[in-house]
Amino acid sequence: MRMKLAAFLIPVTLFVFLYPSAPRLLAAQGSPPAIPRTSDGKPDLSGVWQALTTASWDIQDHAAQKGVPGGPGIVVGNEIPYQPSALERKRQNFAQRAALDPVAKCYLPGIPRLMYMPFPLQIVQTPNEIVMLFEFVHAVRFVFLTGAHPPGPIDWWMGDSRARWEGDTLVVDVVHFNDQTWFDAAGNFHSEAMHLVERYTMLGPDHIQYDVRVEDPKVFARPWDMSVVLYRRKERNAQLYDYECYAFDYEKYYPYPQMRSPQ
């Protein structure tokens, strides 16, 4: 037994003697980067983020089409449990998606679609409120950490968001929707009875795991889940730019100054 222990300790001791910084380096490599925290110790979600996914075109696995990049879906299990009558409406939506997609009409995309659209979003965090600013049509979302949902039903494009912390995960309960938004451009839809439970978990300083459970007894046979990662924009000049979608339809009537012909 002593011979086996010596055979183990001699090379380890020699390694540490020759490379005195090795234990510190190995320890640093073994521990994940610390996540940023606010003054009250909560994970700090503040920053500019963006999802790198094709889910806004189709939340399920899909092949490339003209104007649609192919990619994996974000639906856990890749199955959406539509009720039979709702599945037929989804098929009709898909057949007329170019004309019916609310985003194609420059309507507010709603939640959760705004979270995984191919546009950046900015999160501003305070102890009692989290504000999400979106580049797409300058949409703004308020997530309250105090108070309860107001009595409803209320017809809101973005719903009403009330949050709490469960350890290091921000859990957001969202209700009070209208039925005018889609999950994607493929016709996946919901009713005004939709209920969302979102979970925001920092995987490190530059990644947020975004999970959302969808419930809608008028459309789906059971709850189902989506999961996607939000990436921190690291560019030195990372910021939100203008994308006033509906304004582009009026450019010929009200052109920007730099677009006007010289007089």
pLDDT digits (tens, 9 = 90+) for 183-222: 999 999 999 999 999 999 999 999 999 999 999 999 999 9
Tell me the whole-structure pTM to 2 decimals: 0.83
Q: What tokens were used for 5?
A: 């222990």
Regarding whether 88 and 57 lie in a shared domain, the answer is: yes
Regarding whether 26 and 124 lie in a shared domain, the answer is: no
Regarding whether 117 and 8 lie in a shared domain, the answer is: no
Regarding whether 150 and 78 lie in a shared domain, the answer is: yes
> What is the pLDDT, as a whole number, of residue 145?
97
> Domain for residue 256, yes or no?
no
Kindly report the three-state secondary structure assignment for every residue of 180-249.
Answer: CCECCCCCCECCCCCEEEEEEEEEECCEEEEEEEEECCCCECCCEEEEEEEEECCCCCCCCCCECHHHHH
Regarding whether 103 and 65 lie in a shared domain, the answer is: yes
pLDDT at 255 over 50: yes
> Domain for residue 13, yes or no?
yes
Regarding whether 79 and 123 lie in a shared domain, the answer is: yes
In angstroms, the CA 146 to CA 33 distance is 30
> Domain for residue 160, yes or no?
yes
Give the residue numbers spanning the domain of 9.
1-31
pLDDT digits (tens, 9 = 90+) for 140-181: 999 999 999 999 899 999 999 999 999 999 999 999 999 999
3-state secondary structure of 171: strand
pLDDT digits (tens, 9 = 90+) for 4-16: 544 544 444 444 4
Regarding whether 139 and 24 lie in a shared domain, the answer is: no
Regarding whether 162 and 100 lie in a shared domain, the answer is: yes
Regarding whether 218 and 127 lie in a shared domain, the answer is: yes
190 burial level (CB within 10 Å; 0-12, 13-18, 19+): buried
> Domain for residue 261, yes or no?
no
In angstroms, the CA 79 to CA 155 distance is 28
Number of domains in the chain: 2
241 burial level (CB within 10 Å; 0-12, 13-18, 19+): exposed
> Domain for residue 133, yes or no?
yes
